[in-house]
Amino acid sequence: MRQYSADLTPPWKKPKPVPEVAAEPGLVVEEAGTGFCGAVIRCEAGTVTLEDRFGKHRVFPLEPRGFLLEGRAVTLVRPAAAPPRPTRTASGSVAVPGARARVARAGRIYVEGRHDAELVERVWGDDLRIEGVVVEYLEGVDDLPGIVAEFAPGPDARLGVLVDHLVPGTKEWRIAEAVTSEHALVVGHPYIDVWEAVKPSSVGIPGWPRVPRGQDWKTGVCRALGWPENTGAAWQRILSGVRSYKDLEPELLGRVEELIDFVTAGGGA
């Protein structure tokens, strides 16, 4: 049996199509059925919320030909979703989705201890993997001249070193001066330990305490803050407060960025 359409309306009597308009916030329209006039403040699945000049809100369905825009019938539609903003790594760099780690360069970055290495990994790990830069740690800087000599830095194998408490006139300063060359860069921050490079507010403390000379600095910090004298646990507590570069002091941020730029400028892999 042949099927017929139930719509017997002659074509010339059918309503003409009207333009579709995105219900962007701030768009002023009039609801056709009630005459309520207001600005769009929200558009969700199937509905739009208008606010009139008195601050009154009304919710209406998004129906065809349901609104008037400057006196003309329109169909409001939900605005297209905005394109996602580029995500960023913990260091603030634009993230590269799906990027693979580069084969490790011959160049290296050395840091003074395990805590330094973990902090650098927390903030710059994604960037370092894309650049193919490996971070290793020293146990102090006394052996740095021998380590640099054995590494033998060159144009395609640059060496960067991050040192704690690099202050003019100190032992660390003299060692840094002795090993710095065209292909070996030693930089540092002014803090006694990398703990201090984490902003106190990120750790939930008012400030880093002063520890009298002669005391182990990390143990003294734990005592002054009322923490258990377990420096490993204390460090994990500090590290857990670091989510991005915003949790670190500029004196450390600039030095690590400088080392990454220096090592990657060589171009060697």
Q: What is the pTM of this model?
A: 0.64
DSSP character at residue 34: T
Length of the chain: 269
Q: What is the arithmetic mean of pLDDT over 44-69?
A: 92
Backbone φ and ψ of 151, nearest 5°: -70, -35
Q: What tens digit of pLDDT does each residue of 2-37 get?
A: 454 555 555 555 567 899 999 999 999 999 999 999
pLDDT of residue 102: 63
Q: What tens digit of pLDDT does each residue of 118-158 get?
A: 999 999 998 899 889 999 988 778 889 998 999 999 999 99
Range of the domain at 180: 108-265
Q: What is the arithmetic mean of pLDDT over 56-65?
A: 93
Q: Is residue 163 part of a domain?
A: yes
Which CATH number covers residue 52?
2.30.30
Q: Is residue 56 part of a domain?
A: yes
Residue at a domain's end among 56, 77, 98: 77
In contact, 108 and 148? CB cutoff 8 Å: no
pLDDT of residue 62: 94
How many structural domains does the chain have? 2
Q: Is residue 132 part of a domain?
A: yes
Q: Is residue 207 part of a domain?
A: yes
Instruction: Give the range among 12-16, 109-113, 130-134, 176-180 with minimum mean pLDDT.
Output: 12-16
In a shared domain, residues 114 and 222: yes
Is 5 exposed, middle or buried, given 0-12, 13-18 or 19+ CB atoms closer than 10 A? Answer: exposed
Residue in the structure block whose two tokens are 């009597």: 13
Residue at a domain's end among 77, 95, 121: 77
In a shared domain, residues 115 and 210: yes
Task: Classify 204 as helix, strand or coil.
Answer: coil
In a shared domain, residues 23 and 132: no
In a shared domain, residues 227 and 117: yes
